[in-house]
Amino acid sequence: MKFHWEHIVGLLGLAVLVYGQYFGLFVVPPDSHMGDVARILFVHVPAAWNAFFVLTIGGVFALLYLLTGAKRFDHLLEGCLEVGTLLTFMLILQGSIFAKPTWGVWWTWDPRLVSSAVMLAIYVGVLVLRRTLNTDPTVRATLTSVAAVLASVTLPVNYFSVQIWRSMHQIQTAPTDIDSPLKMAWRINAIAFLLIAFWLVARRSRIAKARFEAMEAPPLPPAPTVEAS
Amino acid sequence: MTDEPLTPDTDLDSDSQPIESEGTTQTLATDERPTPDTDHDSDSQPTESEGTTQILMTDAATDGAPMGLAEGDLNGGWEFIWAAYIITWCLLASYAIFVTVRQPKA
pLDDT at B106: 64
| pLDDT above 60 (res B35) | no
DSSP letter assigned to residue B28:
E
Residues A188 and A180: their CA atoms lie apart, in Å, by: 12
pLDDT at A229: 58
| Identity of the residue in A86, A93, A206 whose CB atom sits nearest the CB atom of B103 | A206
Which residues in chain A are contacts of B81 at CB distance < 8 A?
25, 36-37, 39-40
Which residues in chain B are contacts of A75 at CB distance < 8 A?
none
Residues B7 and B28: their CA atoms lie apart, in Å, by: 10
| pLDDT above 80 (res A126) | yes
Residue type, A86: L
Higher model confidence: residue A55 or residue B39?
A55
**A200 with A47: CB under 8 angstroms?**
no
Mean pLDDT of A89-118: 94
| pLDDT above 80 (res B1) | no
| Identity of the residue in B75, B88, B103 whose CB atom sits nearest the CB atom of A43 | B88
- Mean residue pLDDT of chain A comes to 91
Could you give the angle at the alpha carbon of B42 between the alpha carbons of B40 and B46, nearest 5°?
A: 85
Which residues in chain B are contacts of A35 at CB distance < 8 A?
73-77
Mean pLDDT of A178-193: 91
Residues B33 and B27: their CA atoms lie apart, in Å, by: 10
| Identity of the residue in A32, A100, A204 whose CB atom sits nearest the CB atom of B80 | A100
**Strand (E) or helix (H) holding B25:** strand B24-28
Tens digits of residue pLDDT in B36-95: 444 444 444 444 444 443 434 344 444 444 433 444 577 888 999 999 999 999 999 999
Give the closest-approach CA distance of A219 to chain B in angstroms: 21
pLDDT at B46: 45
Residues B60 and B64: their CA atoms lie apart, in Å, by: 9
Higher model confidence: residue A140 or residue B72?
A140
The gap between the terminal CA atoms of chain A, to the nearest Å, is: 55
- Please classify residue B49 by burial: count the beta carbons closer than 10 Å to its beta carbon, then call 0-12 exposed, 13-18 middle and 19+ buried: buried
Which residues in chain B are contacts of A90 at CB distance < 8 A?
87-88, 91-92
B17, B40, B42, B12: which is closest to B28 by C-alpha?
B17
Higher model confidence: residue A100 or residue B33?
A100
pLDDT at B41: 45
Q: A104 and B102 in contact by Cβ < 8 A? A: no
Give the closest-approach CA distance of A23 to chain B in angstroms: 13
Higher model confidence: residue A227 or residue A207?
A207
pTM for the whole thing?
Answer: 0.75
B65, B55, B66: which is closest to B17 by C-alpha?
B55
pLDDT at B104: 84
Candidates B55, B59, B81, B103: best to mutate against A (most CBs of A within 10 A) is B81
| B73 contact A CB<8A | yes
A98, A109, A90: which is closest to B46 by C-alpha?
A98
User: Phi then psi for B20, rounded to 5 degrees?
Assistant: -85, 135
Closest residue, chain B, to A204 (C-alpha) = B99
Strand order in the sheet with B72-76: B17-21, B24-28, B52-56, B72-76
The gap between the terminal CA atoms of chain B, to the nearest Å, is: 55
Which residues in chain B are contacts of A40 at CB distance < 8 A?
80-81, 84-85
pLDDT at A121: 97
Mean pLDDT of A35-47: 94
A2, A10, A64: which is closest to A194 by C-alpha?
A10
| pLDDT above 60 (res B28) | no
DSSP letter assigned to residue A35:
B
**Whole-complex ipTM:** 0.89
pLDDT-based confidence at residue A224 (cuts at 50, 70, 90): confident
Which residues in chain B are contacts of A2 at CB distance < 8 A?
106
Instruction: Spell out the alpha helix ranges (H) of A104-179.
Output: 111-132, 137-151, 154-164
| Identity of the residue in B46, B47, B103 whose CB atom sits nearest the CB atom of A203 | B103
- Give the least confident one: A83-92, A175-184, A206-215, B75-84: A175-184
- Please classify residue A109 by burial: count the beta carbons closer than 10 Å to its beta carbon, then call 0-12 exposed, 13-18 middle and 19+ buried: exposed
